[in-house]
Amino acid sequence: MQKKGKFPSSAINKNIHIFFILVLPVFLAFVQCSVEKKQDVEEKRSELIQPAKWWEKLPRPIYAKLEKVDTGQEWYEVYKLVDRTYAIYEPYQFEEAISYLVIGKEKAVVIDTGTGIGDLSKVISELTHMPVSVVNTHGHWDHIGSNYQFEEIACFNDADCINRLRTRVENSSLQSSITGDSIWKPLPEGFDAATWQIPPVEPTMLLEDGNLIDLGGRTLEVIHTPGHSPGSICLLDKKNRILFTGDTFFPGPLYAYPEDVNINDYIASVEKLKSRLDEHDYLCAGHNDPWVKSDVISLVSEAFQEIMAGKGEYKEDKGIRRYYFDGFDILIRVDMIKN
């Protein structure tokens, strides 16, 4: 007779058997997933992509030459570039994202909305009382973070860009951007790292190559520059001889290695911008420095030619090479190089 409160050994063995069949595979899958996530984070933080203590190079020299504007927000630094044109810079997070406020006589646009860590709409409200809409140069998370704070949002008419805007960026995928060496200053007061996400938005206007965005006495021409991403654009302010480049160019390591990069399109887009050098004098880039002389575009063109010819100085790690040039670098996968 079985004693009360005890199980026969056969029942115990059966339960152990069930555990191994049902529970253990789930546990092992969880462990594998954790390992893969850790590997992903480690890859993103490769020295080639994210150098240790990257902030030690700050402040970048250009900012001492620009007029700083106080907005009372510690997360952003705001600089006046020319009349009615402002760079809104996030220096405390690795991306060093830059948004731009461009003001016309009737309305204004903010070009890209950064990481979403700070309160961008509050900054904008201190700089202009004009109606403000958003123009995204592309759909990567660090350019669309505060889109949800605005009612009118434009992006290029490309499925990749549209889908990125429509897709929520979950907290789990953002954590590596606000932990470890990705950040070097305290997060803004009121920012909740545990719940931070980038909400989905619906673009209210889809742009085509050659479109003119009329702000009243000031226009921005849309130039489709695919490569960094399929829906990447630049915006030309011909009157002020400024080209807003997003991530097609910035003075740092140009990202030509991710899966959504089309290297042939990227090179063609650089050539497209090179052919229009007589129309602008300065580049307003999506990261690092907001005021770069346009002639660097010719150097980027030469750099890509050199890389594709199997030349150039580089360091390599896990199938990615970082080529070093004057004023910028290029990160590219080995399998993209033909020679």
Q: What confidence score (pLDDT) does residue 172 get?
A: 97
SS3 320: strand
Determine contact, residues 8/2, Cβ cutoff 8 Å. yes
Residue 82 lies inside a defined structural domain of this protein: yes
Q: What confidence score (pLDDT) does residue 338 get?
A: 79
Residue 307 lies inside a defined structural domain of this protein: no
Alpha-carbon distances of 124 from 22, 102, 129, 297, rounded to whole Å: 55, 10, 8, 30
Angstrom distance (rounded) from CA 256 to CA 245: 15
Residue 161 lies inside a defined structural domain of this protein: yes
Alpha-carbon distances of 191 from 77, 90, 101, 112, 220, rounded to whole Å: 18, 15, 23, 20, 33
Residue 255 lies inside a defined structural domain of this protein: yes
Q: What confidence score (pLDDT) does residue 72 get?
A: 87
Q: What is the mean pLDDT of the chain?
A: 90
Residue 232 lies inside a defined structural domain of this protein: yes
Q: How far is CA 303 from the centre of its chain?
A: 22
SS3 232: coil
Residue 259 lies inside a defined structural domain of this protein: yes
Angstrom distance (rounded) from CA 209 to CA 224: 5
- Which helix H or strand E contains 331, and what residues bound it? strand 328-333
Residue 43 lies inside a defined structural domain of this protein: no
Domains held by the chain: number: 1
- Tens digit of each residue's pLDDT (9 = 90 or more) over 171-215: 999 999 999 999 999 999 999 999 999 999 999 999 999 999 999
Q: Is the pLDDT of residue 326 over 70?
A: yes
Angstrom distance (rounded) from CA 138 to CA 247: 8
Give the residue numbers spanning the domain of 77. Answer: 53-296
Determine contact, residues 158/138, Cβ cutoff 8 Å. no
E strand intervals along 36-76? 67-69
- Tens digit of each residue's pLDDT (9 = 90 or more) over 217-275: 999 999 999 999 999 999 999 999 999 999 999 999 999 999 999 999 999 999 999 99
SS3 134: strand
Determine contact, residues 109/85, Cβ cutoff 8 Å. no
Domain CATH for 83: 3.60.15.10
Residue 309 lies inside a defined structural domain of this protein: no
- Tens digit of each residue's pLDDT (9 = 90 or more) over 95-150: 999 999 999 999 999 999 999 999 999 999 999 999 999 999 999 999 999 999 99
- Tens digit of each residue's pLDDT (9 = 90 or more) over 301-314: 999 999 999 999 99
Helical segments of the chain, H only: 9-18, 24-44, 120-127, 141-144, 159-166, 171-174, 263-274, 296-308
Angstrom distance (rounded) from CA 241 to CA 236: 8
- pLDDT-based confidence at 45, cuts 50/70/90? low
